[in-house]
Amino acid sequence: MLTVPAGFLTGLSLIVAIGAQNAFVLRQGLRRQQVLTVVLICAFSDAFLIALGILGLGAVINSVPLLIEVFRYGGAAYLLWFAGLAIRRALRPKALIESETQADSFRSTVITALALTYLNPHVYIDTVLLLGSIANQFDDRWLFGIGAMTASFVWFFSLGFGASWLGKFVKNPNFWRVLDIFIAVVMISIAAMLLTFQFN
């Protein structure tokens, strides 16, 4: 039964990294806004993509280079737009006062979470290609997949709801300035990598 722990550790090693999706989950967790919705979208999306990888979608994606290019440029454009929003917030930071906080709409939150997940080619590389390929090296490939899926749920729930431990900082505008600058740098860096990285 070491297959499940192997899947868990492999999955965790791939998703515990500074990325656009994780930065968004962290920000929503700090703001305490629609956290459950965001973490469920991210975790179930990972599980869905891992399952597709185990079923062999990775081979299909590799055979259609144009599909990767669509995700490359579409994802980079979205990340740069999101970075622009973060920079604008950083220029005029505001403390998060619960009684004055205006939450993003449910629709915009869902769209952002889905876009940061499905417009990022690295998500497909990590879940569909890498985890899918590794899983298929095991006799019990679905047990490996279950381990990797569990890692996604553990990570996103920990990141989203664990962010509230930083609650004492959210009333300081400088905290949000630093966080938004950090988010902008992450988004721009990932966009640059998408535009220059050779996927084949």
Query: Identity (one letter) of the amino acid at 93?
Result: P
> Helix 35-55 crosses helix 106-118 at what angle (to 10 degrees)?
30
Average pLDDT over residues 170-195: 76
What secondary structure does DSSP assign to 94-137, as a single string? ----GGG--PPPHHHHHHHHHHHHHT-HHHHIIIIIIIHHHHTT
Rounded to two decimals, what is the model's pTM?
A: 0.69
DSSP helix/strand/coil, 92? coil
DSSP helix/strand/coil, 74? helix
**Which residue range is the domain that position 137 belongs to?**
3-196
Q: Residue 31 pLDDT more than 80? A: yes
Cα separation of 181 and 95, whole Å? 15
Most confident of 5-9, 47-51, 121-125: 47-51
Which tens digit of pLDDT belongs to each residue from 166-181?
666 656 778 778 878 8
Cα separation of 75 and 187, whole Å? 10
Which tens digit of pLDDT belongs to each residue from 107-155?
999 999 998 888 877 788 778 877 877 787 777 889 989 999 999 999 9
Provide the domain count of the chain: 1
DSSP 18: -
Cα-Cα-Cα-Cα dihedral sign, residues 184, 190, 191, 192: positive
The pLDDT score that the predictor gives to residue 100 is 42
DSSP 32: T
